[in-house]
Structure formats: C-alpha cells, structure tokens
Structure 1
Amino acid sequence: MTKKLLAAMAFAATTLALPASAADTLGIAFAGYDPVTYSQGAPAQGKAKHYHLWNGTLWYFSSEENRDTFVADPAAYAPQFDAYCAWAASQGYKRPGDPNVTQIVDGKLYTFVHEGARKKWQENIEKHITDGEANWELIEPF
C-alpha cells in the first residue's frame, strides 16, 4: 500500500467513528487540551505527537508523562459528562463544553458551554451534579 492510501485510511478511521465524548469534527477530544494539566493548575493545549485513543476519541497531551498519567487512570482526569456542559446535563440535554470554562469539584473536572452556564451551575453545585448524573444515561446523543 502506498503512504497516501494508509494516511487516508487512518484519517477515515478517526473521523468516521462516532465519538462518545464532545469532540471536534476530526474526533479530537476537548479541543485538543491536555486534561491532566487542569489538575496541575495550568491548563495547556496538548500536542498531536502525545496522543491516546480513549472513549472513541483522540486525546492530546502536552507531554509523554501526562499522556502516561492519563492512560493509567483516564476516569481521574477526563472531564465529567464526556466533556459536555455540566449545566446542560443537569437540565437534561447536551451541549459541548468549552475547555476554557471549567471548574474542579472534589477532584473532578467539569466543563461548561459558557460562563453563564457555569454561574447557574454554581448556584447549587451538589444538586446539579446529582441531576446531571441522573440525566446522563437518558440524554440523547448530541
């Protein structure tokens, strides 16, 4: 096979799969941000050379160390509600979360579609987390 054919097949494999998490049209999760960096206090864009396929999408990391940290325990670092807006989940629908509008609660990363959604969610965080978790399996795919 030629290199062009192999590249085309790899591209098709990553773009035709239906992502389980909020991903862009190329199947890249979380707008390419490194989810591990949020727990380190300095969110950063990941690099394509440090990637990992998890939950149906490609995740980028700023370093090999962060990628390996994520691979060891993805649930500890991946945004809740598959990187969809936590406020929307609490209300019974899905909207992609913005990696620049986030909050960490009890070590878990939550994303929001915009700052207004985060402010509404903050009015009763515990209730909105509980409601979002109860709604999550019932919400139709975005």
Structure 2
Amino acid sequence: MTAQRQERKARRGAIALAAALAGLLAALGAASPGRANTTERVVANRYTGIAISGYDPVAYFTDKQALLGRPDVEAWEAGAVWRFCNVGNRAAFAERPDIYAPQFGGYDPVDVARGVAVPGNGQLWLVSGQRLYLFSREESRDAFAADPARYLGEARQRWPKLLDSLVQ
C-alpha cells in the first residue's frame, strides 16, 4: 500500500470516528432531561411536549366535554405545552393550574392507587370534587366513579413515591 493510500485510509477512519462521537453526543444531549421540552411528571407527547393530547384542560369544567385546544392558544406549565380553545381558558389555567390540570399529572388514579404510572387518555375523563382525572381504561373510570374516596386515598398515599420515580 502506498503512503498516500495509507494516509487517506487513516483520514477516513478519523472522520468516521469523529462522526460517530458527534452522533453519540447528539443522542445523549437529546435524551438528557435538562434539554427535553417535556417531563414524565405530566402526561405529554414525548416529541412535541403537548400535554393531554392537546385537549383543553379548562373545557372539561366549562364545557363539560373534551375539546381540542388550538395551536395558536398555548401556555407552558409544569414542563409541558397546554392548548386551549380560547384565551379566556388559557387565562383561567394560568391563574390556577393546580385546579385545572389533571390530577396526578394526568396519570390514571386507579393505576396510581396500585403504585403504577399509566398515562390517562384525554377522552376518558371525570371531574370529581372539582378536580379533573384522566383514565387509561373505561373500567378504571367506572371503578373510580363508584368509589372515588377509596381510590383517591390510596393514590394520594402512593403518588409521592411514584412522582419521585418519574423523570424530571
């Protein structure tokens, strides 16, 4: 092999190594919670950061139905992007996110009571005690509706430990 060919081969290897390292660093940076636009503490799309599939959390209370929010009416809260049907709903949420955001970060309270974080579905919901709860299955919603005190007691007891285990 000539000296020129050896030199070219060495350069290609160095370029390939640099590209591999750059790719690895980019992958680690994208997976880093500090750089993420979302959190696991609130049910949100991992790619867009949009909470509860884009449903307006205030509409569950005001319109008594699951309504999709608009992309031009958004707010940032608790590491997620929330969408709203109108600016009035956004203002209400900004003033009291503790009231309007789904309890347990949007995780199913029946599953939280079992010690498991299962994301709720924006279309399977219930307002109970002036709080919003999302459920992963109809069976969970029905069980919760039949005995909310039981599930809330267990869920509130297990939530702090579950919350600590979720990515920040």
Q: What is the TM-score when the length of structure 1 is the normalising length?
A: 0.85
Shift in Å, 1:48: 1.2
Q: SS of 2:143's equivalent?
A: helix
Shift in Å, 1:122: 3.0
Counterpart residue identity of residue 21, structure 1: V
User: Alpha carbons of 1:70 and 1:115: their partners in 2 closer, same or farther (altered >3 Å)?
Assistant: same
Deviation per CA, 1:41-78: give whole Å up to 9, x if none: 13210011111000000000011111011101111111
Q: 2:103 maps to what in 1?
A: 80
Which has the larger share of helix? 2
Aligned partners of 2:124 and 2:134 also within 8 Å: yes
Pick one of 1, 11, 17 that aligns with 2:37: 17
Q: 1:66 maps to what in 2?
A: 89
Alignment of 1:57-136 (within 5 A): 57-136=80-159
How many residue pairs match? The answer is 130
Counterpart residue identity of residue 60, structure 2: Y
Alignment of 1:39-58 (within 5 A): 39-40=61-62, 41-58=64-81
Instruction: Single out whichever of 120-129 and 32-41 deviates more from structure 2.
Output: 120-129
Q: 2:58 maps to what in 1?
A: 36
Aligned sequence identity (%)? 26
Q: What is the TM-score when the length of structure 2 is the normalising length?
A: 0.72
Which has the larger share of strand? 1
Shift in Å, 1:120: 2.6
Structure 2 gap ranges (5+)? 1-29
C-alpha RMSD of matched pairs (Å): 1.8
Structure 1 gap ranges (5+)? 1-11
